[in-house]
């Protein structure tokens, strides 16, 4: 078994695609409209789906806002340097919600950014992520 994807419901598809593509550097891997169901699925990732897990953006044509609830956590991405990655995100118009620094009660360097729908994405700095 392996993880295939994580699905996120998004309110504004093109803004979400732009964030994951232009801010986080993912590629649009595939897209399919389902007119009878009035929804679109877009799969975004860093490598082909056959090689690793991806993000599925689900856009329901008649819904433009979702309550994220209190059960959702975040998506985690491994990065070489969390501070530099935050600077790149900011330069590309993204929103940093927690600057790079050691995690509470640990030494792993992390940071958080937020996508257009409010989903959190954690950056975990590669050189220290296995220490905690």
Is 122 designated active site?
A: yes
Q: Which of 28, 36, 51, 122 is labelled catalytic?
A: 122
- Cα 6 from Cα 107, distance rounded (Å): 27
- Cα 116 from Cα 95, distance rounded (Å): 9
Pairing of the two strands 75-79 and 120-125? parallel
Q: Which residues are catalytic?
A: 122
């Amino acid at each position: 078994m392996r993880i295939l994807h994580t699905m996120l419901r998004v309110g504004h598809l093109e803004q979400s695609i732009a964030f994951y593509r232009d801010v986080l550097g993912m590629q649009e891997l595939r897209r399919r409209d389902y007119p009878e169901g009035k929804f679109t699925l877009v799969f975004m990732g860093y490598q082909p789906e056959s090689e690793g897990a991806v993000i599925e953006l689900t856009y329901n044509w008649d819904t433009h806002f979702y309550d994220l609830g209190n059960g959702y956590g975040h998506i985690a991405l491994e990065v070489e340097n969390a501070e530099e990655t935050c600077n790149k995100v900011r330069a590309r118009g993204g929103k940093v919600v927690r600057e790079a620094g050691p995690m509470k009660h640990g030494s792993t360097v992390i940071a958080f950014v937020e996508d257009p729908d409010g989903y959190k994405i954690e950056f975990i700095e590669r050189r220290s992520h296995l220490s905690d």
